[in-house]
Chains A and B, each alone.
Chain A
Amino acid sequence: MRHGFYLKMSLTNLRKNARLYLPQMFTGAGLTAVFYILLTLAMDERLKNVRGGSYLPTIMPMGTFVVAILSVILIFYTNSFLMKQRKREFGFYNVLGLEKRHVGRILFWESTLSTLASVISGLLLGVLLYKLCALLICRILQVDSVLGFYHVSATSIVPSALFFILVYLAAFLFNRIQITRLNPLELLQSTHTGEKEPRIKWLLLIIGVLSLGAGYYLAVTTDNPLNALNLFFFAALLVILGTYCLFVTGSIALLKFLKGRKSFYYHPRHMISVSGLMYRMKQNAMGLASISILAAMVLVMVSTTASMYTGVKDTLIRKYPHDFYVSASYDTESEQNREIPFEDLREIIYQAARQNHLEIADDCQVTYFACAFNKKQENEFSTNHSENITQIVQCFFVTANEYERLTGTAVSLEKDQLAICSSATKSDIFAVGDTLTMAGKTFSCAQELTSFPVNMSAYSLVNCYGIVVSDEDVFNEIFDFQEKAYKDAASHVNKQLVFDFADEKAVEKSYDNFTDAMYEGIRDYVDSQPESTGGYGTVVDSLWDTMEYLYGMYGTLLFLGILLSLVFLFATALIIYYKQISEGYEDGERFQIMQKVGMSSDEIRGTIRSQILMVFFLPLMVAAMHMAFAFPMLTKLLRVLFQSDEQLFLLCTVASLGVFAMIYVAIYGMTARVYYRIVK
């Protein structure tokens, strides 16, 4: 027999089995495209050099890795499904006189054709969509597009093509071995053996309830952001474990309970749904649990990255009342009392700004000190050592005079009064009238401040308090107290230069050049000083550096989050699609019997619909429930990451849930139609 025969035969097979093969090829193509896009984004030199683009080479490879793993899983999943559906057909060939190596040859051509089709179309799709993705990235990073033409990257085409061809080759070899082991008689007879009614595994059920409960409990009760950071993964693991256990055995326990209640069970629709679901759950519990968890992950990923990204500006404005902070201090004790030539530094910075056509609108010098306390009781800050990080608070002290000079707002305070700005959660806020014992004295809170002139951003992990004291004496008293208590670890009085730029647009353009010039100027100046006055270090903390850092990182994460969510969604869709098809064939027989026994086609359709709806929307509901319980914990986590706008996060969560549900419903519509067609 000529090769042309096999080629023709496999072409016919592919066409005949389009319902099975097309989704697999589409998925393969989509995955190839995403893989190519992520790889190219990681390596694109032009994108790397835009503002915030430096995170692409570090974050995108992680995404590529995730897609690679998912691709292997999905391709093998669809492959095993296809083989299961077609084994009978191959058995037939065998019986009709084709040898196994001939069947193998047909399979080889089928694999080659479908692999080529999906890899080539995937790469084409990737090249086409790459520009769109690059534009999106530029948009997200808020820079002008740097790409003017279609970009085809050979350095990522080759590895992408190679990777997917290898995966498909592995799948083919796997199939080929299965063909060798094939026993045609067994296949042809493939009798319909009944399955046992699943049993309730009580131990699993108990484990499931406990771990889900514990996970939810942790998520809801964890108050401190740092604890949230530590416990989140633990809680997530508990919830994942609980989800699997409950899907596997909890669903069956529930169905058995329903079945036990005769007045409920012996009702046309209930009876068929309950016993149908019982078997379906047995086969699909793992798949459904996986879908729920994937969906929950997608939701967490998108809602957090979206809210972090959209919240960057607000967060920054809150954390940085001014554009630019330069602080300087000596390293050693003996140099403590030397004056730092702030006037000279200020002049250098102005000069650097002038060189780059930047106008500094305002500047001032701040004197404050910051130290940590142990807040072991509501109203007491002590210097005792604390093992419990949640009790640590960071305080920033300024005098009333300093506060007025910096903010232009006067605060009149008695010696035993304080004005307090809290960055803490509600329960830890100091309100007017609250007392605070500190440094052996008891103060009362006379005023609640909404902003504080000192930048507290570096300490966002713990609760921070900006505290205004009445005068120099109280300031020194508290300072001395902590110096004595903490000894070598005590804080210094910090002096800071604070600047505000006049024009934001100009800053965006020439900020990098400005900082370069400034650093160079300061370095030259310090080097030119004699030994006796030099030797101090300067630290620059700037709204603009942080903004670039945050937009770069969160923007890249957001992009990856969206792309991976899409991939996960389509993976989910694919799994569901194949499930529907395989179940469609089984259910078709069942419904035929029911029709013969006296069920109308309307009743049958209604039953089918409620059954599909249950199976389909259960994961979505579970994912939404997980998300609801994770919400409090995620808000805490976001605080660690500079994002404390709860409302915004809620909005992002609801929006991503909405979009997710819409896409999910669309997938449902498409797969349900295929299912109906099969059942009919």
Chain B
Amino acid sequence: MTILEVQSLKKIYTTRFGGNQVQALSQVSFSVEQGEYVAIMGESGSGKTTLLNILAALDKPTGGQVLLDGKPLSAINEKELAAFRRKNLGFVFQEFNLLDTFSVRDNILLPLVLGNTSVTEMEKRLAPVAEQLGIASHLDKYPYEISGGQKQRTAVARAIITEPRLILADEPTGALDSKSTDDLLQVFQQIYSMGQTILMVTHSTKAASHANRVLFIKDGEVFHQIYRGGCNNEQMYQKIANTLTILATGGDHR
């Protein structure tokens, strides 16, 4: 079943007085199936972040549309948008984006609180998530008291506690050391294996090698995609690296 369908997405940024136009996305189309783990790779300026913002309904496309569960995002009005985002999407960011005034527990619970969930229900959901991510003993600490890896796991917990249809991860390993990166990718692997759909935007070949499909974006278009097939992570890594080399040397493969 298709969860996310992106149809010929186009985004043009115009400077305030309409002078210069910059095309961030020219023609992006792809779809994500239920339970898939997709990585999107591309260089800086290739339009990754723009794509993610549009998928998150934080930005509006100039042309084309995004369907979530067959429903176009553009059909949701401004007022319901926040609630929609809260219910259907979970976010993991490079910079963690934890609130420094909240404890780990409150950071995780924030989306549920915003959705007016009852206290008992929140506690029922929190316990297994915290356990799974190995932060159960840190719940009462504050973000500045824990390590980067723990912060990112807190952010993941915040993303999955609402049981969203889709998790959007923006360079989730970008601010982590290699040990924490391994841990986090392990966590992603784990929630993926439990049936969670994940869409991850990344620079890191290693991070992408955990996905079961990798899309490459160049100059605002989907340039290429590779499937895991039967490969293990190392083979997948090699495949991605090869593709990146071709991309970098200017191959015109389509």
**How many residues on chain B are close to A (CB under 8 Å)?**
33
Contacts of A147 in B (CB 8 A): none
| Chain B 96-113 interface mask (CB, 8 Å, partner A; 1/0) | 011111110010011101
Of B93, B116, B142, the residue contacting A267 (CB under 8 A) is B116
Residue pairs across A and B with CB atoms within 8 Å: the count is: 73
Q: A193-B144, A263-B119, A271-B110 are in contact. Are A593 and B82 (CB under 8 A)?
A: no
Q: Is residue A192 within 8 Å, beta carbon to beta carbon, of the partner chain? A: yes
Whether A600 contacts B91 by the Cβ 8 Å rule is: no
Q: A194-B142, A275-B106, A590-B101 are in contact. Are A597 and B111 (CB under 8 A)?
A: yes
Of A197, A263, A598, A603, most B-chain CB atoms within 10 Å: A598
Q: Is residue A213 within 8 Å, beta carbon to beta carbon, of the partner chain? A: no
Q: A196-B142, A197-B142, A267-B116 are in contact. Are A596 and B58 (CB under 8 A)?
A: yes
Contacts of A271 in B (CB 8 A): 106, 110, 113
Shortest A441–chain B CB gap in Å is 77
Residue of A nearest to B170 (CB): A596
Whether B101 contacts A276 by the Cβ 8 Å rule is: yes
The distance in angstroms between the C-alpha atoms of A78 and B104, with both chains bound, is 36
Residue of A nearest to B144 (CB): A194
Of A192, A263, A275, the residue contacting B101 (CB under 8 A) is A275
The distance in angstroms between the C-alpha atoms of A598 and B82, with both chains bound, is 5
Contacts of A601 in B (CB 8 A): 82
The distance in angstroms between the C-alpha atoms of A554 and B89, with both chains bound, is 69
| Chain B 40-52 interface mask (CB, 8 Å, partner A; 1/0) | 0000000000000
The distance in angstroms between the C-alpha atoms of A602 and B110, with both chains bound, is 17
Shortest B105–chain A CB gap in Å is 10
Q: Is residue A262 within 8 Å, beta carbon to beta carbon, of the partner chain? A: yes
Q: Is residue B86 within 8 Å, beta carbon to beta carbon, of the partner chain? A: yes
Of A192, A196, A603, the residue contacting B114 (CB under 8 A) is A603
Shortest B160–chain A CB gap in Å is 13
Contacts of B158 in A (CB 8 A): 597
Whether B99 contacts A279 by the Cβ 8 Å rule is: no
Of A196, A268, A593, the residue contacting B116 (CB under 8 A) is A268
The distance in angstroms between the C-alpha atoms of A24 and B60, with both chains bound, is 41
Within 8 A of B (CB), among A589-642: 590, 593-603
Q: A598-B83, A598-B86, A600-B82 are in contact. Are A195 and B114 (CB under 8 A)?
A: no
Contacts of A275 in B (CB 8 A): 99, 101-102, 106
The distance in angstroms between the C-alpha atoms of A598 and B79, with both chains bound, is 12
| Chain B 69-107 interface mask (CB, 8 Å, partner A; 1/0) | 000000000010111011001010100011111110010
Whether B79 contacts A597 by the Cβ 8 Å rule is: no
Q: Is residue B176 within 8 Å, beta carbon to beta carbon, of the partner chain? A: no
Residue of A nearest to B117 (CB): A266
Q: Is residue A238 within 8 Å, beta carbon to beta carbon, of the partner chain? A: no
Shortest A587–chain B CB gap in Å is 10
Q: Is residue B220 within 8 Å, beta carbon to beta carbon, of the partner chain? A: no
Of B102, B114, B115, most A-chain CB atoms within 10 Å: B114
Whether B144 contacts A597 by the Cβ 8 Å rule is: no
Q: Is residue A564 within 8 Å, beta carbon to beta carbon, of the partner chain? A: no
The distance in angstroms between the C-alpha atoms of A271 and B105, with both chains bound, is 12
Of A276, A278, A599, A602, the residue contacting B79 (CB under 8 A) is A602
Q: Is residue B6 within 8 Å, beta carbon to beta carbon, of the partner chain? A: no
Q: Is residue B175 within 8 Å, beta carbon to beta carbon, of the partner chain? A: no
Contacts of A599 in B (CB 8 A): 82, 86, 114
Shortest B150–chain A CB gap in Å is 13
Of A195, A596, A597, A600, the residue contacting B83 (CB under 8 A) is A600
Whether A598 contacts B113 by the Cβ 8 Å rule is: no
Whether A603 contacts B82 by the Cβ 8 Å rule is: yes
- Chain A interface: which size bin? 20 to 34
Within 8 A of B (CB), among A243-282: 262-263, 266-268, 271, 275-276, 278-279
Contacts of A596 in B (CB 8 A): 56, 58, 91, 93, 97
Q: Is residue B54 within 8 Å, beta carbon to beta carbon, of the partner chain? A: no
Contacts of A600 in B (CB 8 A): 79, 81-83
Whether A267 contacts B113 by the Cβ 8 Å rule is: yes
The distance in angstroms between the C-alpha atoms of A603 and B200, with both chains bound, is 28
Shortest B186–chain A CB gap in Å is 24
Residue of A nearest to B164 (CB): A598
Contacts of A192 in B (CB 8 A): 100
The distance in angstroms between the C-alpha atoms of A476 and B101, with both chains bound, is 82
Shortest B169–chain A CB gap in Å is 13
Q: Is residue B247 within 8 Å, beta carbon to beta carbon, of the partner chain? A: no
Q: Is residue B61 within 8 Å, beta carbon to beta carbon, of the partner chain? A: no
Q: Is residue B143 within 8 Å, beta carbon to beta carbon, of the partner chain? A: yes
Q: Is residue B122 within 8 Å, beta carbon to beta carbon, of the partner chain? A: yes
The distance in angstroms between the C-alpha atoms of A4 and B102, with both chains bound, is 50
Whether B144 contacts A598 by the Cβ 8 Å rule is: no
Whether A279 contacts B101 by the Cβ 8 Å rule is: yes
Whether B100 contacts A195 by the Cβ 8 Å rule is: yes
Contacts of B143 in A (CB 8 A): 194
Whether A590 contacts B99 by the Cβ 8 Å rule is: yes
Residue of B nearest to A271 (CB): B113
The distance in angstroms between the C-alpha atoms of A266 and B119, with both chains bound, is 7
Q: A197-B142, A267-B116 are in contact. Are A598 and B100 (CB under 8 A)?
A: no
Whether B101 contacts A278 by the Cβ 8 Å rule is: yes
Whether B109 contacts A194 by the Cβ 8 Å rule is: no
Contacts of B89 in A (CB 8 A): 598
The distance in angstroms between the C-alpha atoms of A300 and B85, with both chains bound, is 53
Within 8 A of A (CB), among B139-162: 142-145, 158
Shortest B76–chain A CB gap in Å is 12
Q: A275-B106, A596-B93, A597-B91 are in contact. Are A268 and B101 (CB under 8 A)?
A: no
Q: A196-B142, A603-B114 are in contact. Are A598 and B101 (CB under 8 A)?
A: no
Contacts of B81 in A (CB 8 A): 600
Shortest B57–chain A CB gap in Å is 10
The distance in angstroms between the C-alpha atoms of A279 and B97, with both chains bound, is 18
Of A193, A262, A590, the residue contacting B119 (CB under 8 A) is A262
Contacts of B101 in A (CB 8 A): 275-276, 278-279, 590
The distance in angstroms between the C-alpha atoms of A593 and B93, with both chains bound, is 10
The distance in angstroms between the C-alpha atoms of A468 and B168, with both chains bound, is 96
Contacts of A263 in B (CB 8 A): 119
Contacts of B106 in A (CB 8 A): 271, 275
The distance in angstroms between the C-alpha atoms of A275 and B115, with both chains bound, is 18
Residue of A nearest to B96 (CB): A593
Within 8 A of A (CB), among B22-63: 56, 58
Contacts of B110 in A (CB 8 A): 271, 594, 597
Contacts of B142 in A (CB 8 A): 194, 196-197
Contacts of B109 in A (CB 8 A): 266
The distance in angstroms between the C-alpha atoms of A271 and B114, with both chains bound, is 9
The distance in angstroms between the C-alpha atoms of A330 and B96, with both chains bound, is 94
Contacts of B86 in A (CB 8 A): 597-599
Residue of B nearest to A194 (CB): B144
Whether A598 contacts B85 by the Cβ 8 Å rule is: yes
Residue of B nearest to A598 (CB): B86
Within 8 A of B (CB), among A102-159: none
Residue of B nearest to A601 (CB): B82
Shortest A279–chain B CB gap in Å is 5
Contacts of A193 in B (CB 8 A): 144
Contacts of B58 in A (CB 8 A): 595-596
Whether A266 contacts B113 by the Cβ 8 Å rule is: yes
Can you give 22 A-B contacts (C-beta < 8 A)?
Answer: A192-B100, A193-B144, A194-B143, A194-B145, A197-B103, A263-B119, A266-B119, A266-B122, A267-B113, A268-B113, A275-B99, A279-B101, A596-B56, A597-B97, A597-B111, A597-B114, A598-B85, A598-B89, A598-B111, A598-B115, A599-B114, A600-B81
Known: A263-B119, A266-B109, A276-B101. 6 other contacts (CB 8 A): A195-B100, A267-B116, A278-B101, A598-B86, A598-B115, A600-B82
Interface positions of B (Cβ within 8 A of A) = 56, 58, 79, 81-83, 85-86, 89, 91, 93, 97-103, 106, 109-111, 113-116, 119, 122, 142-145, 158
The 3 closest A-B CB pairs, nearest first, are A194-B144, A598-B86, A600-B82
